[in-house]
Amino acid sequence: MPIIEFASLELIPPYSLESVPLSKLFHRLSSRQAAYSGYPLIFFADTISPFILYTVSGWHSVEANLTWIASEENGELLRSFEPFLKVKTLVHLNMDFDDIPRGCKGMVCVKCNNFNDLREYIEVEETRGEEDGEASSEGSGPASLTLFGQDVDPLSDAVYRFTVCENIAFDNSVQPRARRNGLGEVIAMRRVTVPRS
């Protein structure tokens, strides 16, 4: 079953995506992982914290991703990254990577503990959006697609909703405004390109 690997990375200050050693490592990771998985690795920056990055990639199965994770090649890359970042989270979602438009500019991700919380989150946000006359958590610009996926870990009931935004213009109000209902963790992220060093 095709899956999406969704990871959050925390950069160790003063390093940034533009830092020469880090950008070289991200290029190496991107090319090696894509060669192994057959899917590109997409990078996103958090719209609030300059030190949080997200990666999204497809895999043919969880087993294929776990084989890559356990490989010496990936282990070497992870050791190379140690001075620059920490992997905060990594989840496998029952979503097909090919459903994400290749030109996607940004996404808003809502993570809830289970489907009931997600359903309630959506209802509360729709009601508040109508009352306030504003978009709930999608930033500005039209939402082109909404995708849903569940963490495939049998010990987790977490569900994720990704809203793909084509003409994204997030500002610092998106995440705090969306978080106010307390039912889900909201991540607003803008697609970034790793600079060539």
The pLDDT, as a whole number, for residue 182 is: 64
Please state, rounded to an integer, the average pLDDT across all residues of the chain: 85
CA distance 30 to 33: 5
Tokens standing for 85?
Answer: 């970042």
For 67-121, what is each residue's pLDDT tens digit?
Answer: 999 999 999 999 999 999 999 999 999 999 999 988 888 998 999 988 888 888 7
The pLDDT, as a whole number, for residue 177 is: 45
Cβ-defined contacts of 192-195 (< 8 Å, 24+): 192/17, 192/43, 192/44, 192/45, 192/53, 193/43, 194/17, 194/23, 194/26, 194/27, 194/30, 194/43, 195/17, 195/18, 195/23
Instruction: Please return the burial class of 106, using the count of CB atoms within 10 Å of its CB with bins 0-12, 13-18 and 19+.
Output: buried
CA distance 142 to 144: 6
* pLDDT tens digits in sequence order for the chain, 197 residues long: 899 999 999 999 999 888 989 999 999 999 999 999 999 999 999 988 889 999 999 999 999 999 999 999 999 999 999 999 999 999 999 999 999 988 888 998 999 988 888 888 778 777 765 555 554 444 445 556 889 999 999 999 999 999 998 765 554 444 444 454 566 788 889 999 988 76
Domains and CATH numbers, the chain: 3-99 (3.30.70.100), 106-192 (3.30.70)
CA distance 177 to 26: 32
Cis ω on the peptide bond leading into residue 195 (within 30° of 0)?
A: no
The pLDDT, as a whole number, for residue 173 is: 47
The pLDDT, as a whole number, for residue 170 is: 52
The pLDDT, as a whole number, for residue 197 is: 64
